[in-house]
């Protein structure tokens, strides 16, 4: 019996319906569907969303399996409502060849909890000098379309120009980690009032904004496609807004933590709040929320960055950058944006648009008959307290530890198969 009926669910927060799923596809939608020989899953009025898609995940495999593996990372993804994630290229070895991206892709298939699409490195070894074999990665079994040196900026303007041009041949997109590294040498946190008081080296907003301004000009000039990773400043939002108004082919991403946390948290000197780009100020948070609400920022990307305990349980200056995000993403976005985006809006930013940007045909689809059953169910009235020990990830560096968050994921389906089911959803 593989058929399932999701009973009493509300697609995108709409009317109560039942949804019949079989052979990995939505077979019928309607009130009080007749049930014959199908497993019934009672939704109790929960919100049904298309499975979430994350353009920005670090799964750490190969290389740092002590912090995360494809299996544990996709378990966290499924529990966070995701049915597809894009694994960034900064593994060891770097995902800059067809062999490595195919390995990551295959690990994702074997885990079976969430589609894993490898992101290819833009340059060999993420060194920013020589283009990686982008075409080979595009032609591989992993069918790479998103390329990024994330963790590092493609600083050299000519290399960036070549990359943007080269991927036009296979409709690829360059996802830029915007950080002028000469302006951030040794920097630890946002440059501002708080850094000046804490004696931590400041990371100025212009380090991000100057690269974005340059790349917006480059992409317009060579008529390609640019995606901007983890936008963190009010100035960046404004640059993207203006560029879109003049027709530049750019998309932009914001993380849940930049939508919700500020550099005030650095006052604790707790490295769980150390992240690249750094947490900014409330002014930036407000601008990012405005940008996500009006569509200037297209998507939420988690920048899920697991780290082993010893890489966070140390002095702020020694600690690694990054925080967990997959399992808390939807709840944090609902918390930050619930009054600005309805469920359709949240589905757009966390599923539909990311799938479009990456060119996925089977994710981020409408909840309609005939569509693949990549779905997630959210209890809109529930709250939960984040306990890092309980998260699916192998690491525990969640900046939301101890916080009470709304909107718990109760069920995730990947092509009709249950990849996560909370105890709340009775058999």
CB of 347 to other proteins, least distance (A): 39
262, 306, 328, 400, 421 from 385: Cα distances, Å? 20, 19, 10, 9, 18
Site string for other proteins, 70-109 (x = CB under 8 A): ----------------------------------------
- Sign of the dihedral through C-alpha 118, 312, 300, 162: negative
Q: Which is nearer to other proteins, 102 or 313 (CB)?
A: 313
Q: How far apart are CA 306 and CA 61, in angstroms?
A: 11
Q: Which is nearer to other proteins, 165 or 270 (CB)?
A: 270
Residues 216-255, interacting with other proteins (CB under 8 A): none
Q: Which of 230, 386, 394 lies closest to 306, judged by CA?
A: 394
112, 121, 162, 222, 289 from 144: Cα distances, Å? 19, 10, 18, 21, 30
Listing from the earlier edge strand, what are the strands of the sheet with 82-87?
A: 52-57, 82-87, 115-118
Q: Determine which residue in the list 92, 129, 130, 196 makes contact with other proteins, applying CB under 8 A.
A: 196
Q: How far apart are CA 358 and CA 337, in angstroms?
A: 24
Residues 269-298, interacting with other proteins (CB under 8 A): 269-270
Q: Determine which residue in the list 12, 198, 222, 401 makes contact with other proteins, applying CB under 8 A.
A: 198
Can residue 200 be called a binding residue for other proteins (CB under 8 A)?
yes
CB of 394 to other proteins, least distance (A): 20
Structure tokens at 241: 């807004």
Can residue 315 be called a binding residue for other proteins (CB under 8 A)?
yes
Q: Determine which residue in the list 108, 172, 192, 399 makes contact with other proteins, applying CB under 8 A.
A: 192
Answer yes or no: 311 catalytic. Answer: no
Q: Which is nearer to other proteins, 54 or 263 (CB)?
A: 263
Q: Which is nearer to other proteins, 2 or 197 (CB)?
A: 197
Stretch in the footprint of other proteins (CB under 8 A) among 50-58, 72-80, 187-195, 419-427: 187-195
Q: Determine which residue in the list 201, 241, 244, 403 makes contact with other proteins, applying CB under 8 A.
A: 201
Q: How far apart are CA 283 and CA 257, in angstroms?
A: 14
Do the bridges between strand 39-50 and strand 52-57 make them parallel or antiparallel, or are there none, so unpaired?
unpaired
Q: Determine which residue in the list 35, 169, 314, 369 makes contact with other proteins, applying CB under 8 A.
A: 314
Q: Which of 147, 277, 281, 267 lies closest to 211, judged by CA?
A: 277
The phi-psi region of residue 208 (left if phi > 0; otherwise alpha if psi is between -120 and 50; otherwise beta) is: alpha
Q: Which of 368, 381, 380, 411 lies closest to 41, judged by CA?
A: 411
Can residue 318 be called a binding residue for other proteins (CB under 8 A)?
yes
Can residue 317 be called a binding residue for other proteins (CB under 8 A)?
yes
Q: Which is nearer to other proteins, 108 or 202 (CB)?
A: 202
**CB of 300 within 8 A of CB of 352?**
no
**CB of 150 within 8 A of CB of 88?**
yes
Q: How far apart are CA 346 and CA 335, in angstroms?
A: 11
CB of 400 to other proteins, least distance (A): 19
Q: Which residues contact 207 (CB under 8 A, 6 or more apart)?
A: 179, 180, 181, 183, 184, 187
Q: Which of 129, 63, 78, 152 lies closest to 108, judged by CA?
A: 78
Q: Which is nearer to other proteins, 65 or 270 (CB)?
A: 270
Query: How many helices (H) and strands (E) in the chain?
Result: 11, 17
Can residue 197 be called a binding residue for other proteins (CB under 8 A)?
yes
Stretch in the footprint of other proteins (CB under 8 A) among 62-70, 141-149, 264-272, 390-398: 264-272
Can residue 402 be called a binding residue for other proteins (CB under 8 A)?
no
Stretch in the footprint of other proteins (CB under 8 A) among 62-70, 193-201, 344-352, 390-398: 193-201
| Set 150, 263, 303, 311: catalytic member | 303
Can residue 366 be called a binding residue for other proteins (CB under 8 A)?
no
Site string for other proteins, 125-164 (x = CB under 8 A): ----------------------------------------
Stretch in the footprint of other proteins (CB under 8 A) among 91-99, 110-118, 144-152, 195-203: 195-203
* DSSP string for 154-204: ---HHHHHHHHHHGGGGT-EEEE----GGGSTT--EESSHHHHHHT--EE-
Stretch in the footprint of other proteins (CB under 8 A) among 82-90, 102-110, 186-194, 234-242: 186-194
Stretch in the footprint of other proteins (CB under 8 A) among 141-149, 220-228, 240-248, 266-274: 266-274
Q: How far apart are CA 285 and CA 335, in angstroms?
A: 13
The set of catalytic residues is 303
Q: Give contact residues for other proteins (rule: CB under 8 A).
A: 191-193, 195-202, 268-270, 310, 313-318
């Amino acid at each position: 019996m593989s058929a399932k009926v999701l009973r009493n669910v509300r697609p995108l927060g709409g009317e109560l319906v039942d949804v019949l799923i079989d052979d990995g596809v939505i077979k019928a939608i309607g009130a009080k569907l007749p049930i014959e020989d199908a497993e019934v899953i009672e939704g109790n009025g929960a919100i049904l969303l298309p499975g979430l898609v994350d353009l920005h995940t670090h799964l750490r495999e190969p290389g740092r399996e002590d912090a995360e593996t494809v299996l544990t990372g996709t378990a966290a993804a499924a529990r966070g409502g995701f049915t597809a994630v894009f694994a960034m290229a900064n593994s060891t070895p770097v995902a800059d060849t067809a062999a490595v991206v195919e390995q990551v892709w295959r690990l994702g298939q074997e885990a079976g909890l969430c589609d894993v699409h490898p992101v290819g490195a833009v340059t060999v070894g993420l060194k920013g000098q020589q283009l990686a074999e982008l075409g080979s990665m595009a032609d591989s079994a992993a069918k790479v379309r998103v390329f990024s040196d994330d963790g590092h900026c493609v600083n050299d303007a000519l290399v960036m120009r070549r990359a943007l041009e080269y991927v036009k041949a296979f409709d690829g997109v360059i996802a830029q980690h915007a950080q002028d590294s000469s302006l951030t040498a040794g920097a630890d946190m946002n440059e501002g009032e708080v850094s000046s008081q804490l004696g931590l080296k400041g990371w100025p907003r212009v380090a991000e904004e100057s690269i974005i301004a340059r790349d917006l000009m480059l992409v317009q000039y060579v008529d390609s496609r640019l995606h901007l990773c983890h936008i963190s400043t009010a100035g960046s939002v404004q640059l993207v807004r203006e560029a879109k108004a003049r027709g530049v082919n750019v998309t932009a991403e914001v993380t849940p933590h930049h939508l919700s946390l500020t550099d005030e948290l650095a006052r604790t000197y707790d490295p769980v709040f150390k992240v690249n780009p750094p947490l900014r100020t409330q002014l930036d948070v407000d601008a990012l929320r405005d940008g996500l609400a009006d569509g200037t920022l297209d998507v939420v990307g988690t920048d899920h960055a697991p780290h082993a305990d010893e890489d966070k349980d140390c002095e702020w200056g020694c600690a690694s950058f990054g925080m967990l995000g997959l399992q808390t993403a939807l709840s944090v976005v609902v918390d930050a944006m619930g009054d600005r985006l309805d469920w359709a809006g949240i589905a757009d930013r966390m599923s539909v648009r990311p799938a479009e940007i990456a060119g996925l045909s089977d994710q981020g689809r409408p909840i309609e008959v005939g569509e693949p059953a990549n779905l997630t169910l959210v209890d809109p009235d529930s709250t939960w307290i984040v306990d890092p020990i309980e998260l699916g990830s192998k690491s525990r560096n969640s900046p939301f530890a101890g916080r009470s968050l709304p909107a718990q994921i109760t069920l995730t389906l990947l092509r009709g198969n249950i990849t996560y089911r909370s105890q709340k959803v009775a058999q």
